[in-house]
């Protein structure tokens, strides 16, 4: 059974993954060259 908090949690995961795609443009080489971007992506993964 799925609860309201599950929906909130899953929605947050999707939001974070969308942000990562926005940051990187799905191009890993951009991520590897930019420390600030790496930090932002790691933070989203932790969240």
Average pLDDT in the 17-39 region? 88
- For residue 26, is pLDDT > 80? no
Asked if residues 40 and 23 have their Cβ atoms less than 8 Å apart, the reply is yes
Predicted confidence at residue 10, as pLDDT, reads: 94
5-25 pLDDT per residue, tens: 999 999 999 999 999 988 888
pLDDT-derived band at 35 (thresholds 50, 70, 90) equals very high
How many Å separate Cα 36 from the centre of its chain?
14
pTM of the model: 0.72
**Which residues have a Cβ under 8 Å from the Cβ of 45 and sit 6 or more positions away?**
16, 20
């Amino acid at each position: 059974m799925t609860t309201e908090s599950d929906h909130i949690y899953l929605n947050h995961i999707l939001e974070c993954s969308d942000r990562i795609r926005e940051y990187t443009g799905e191009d890993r080489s951009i991520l590897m060259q930019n420390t600030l971007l790496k930090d932002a992506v790691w933070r989203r993964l932790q969240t």
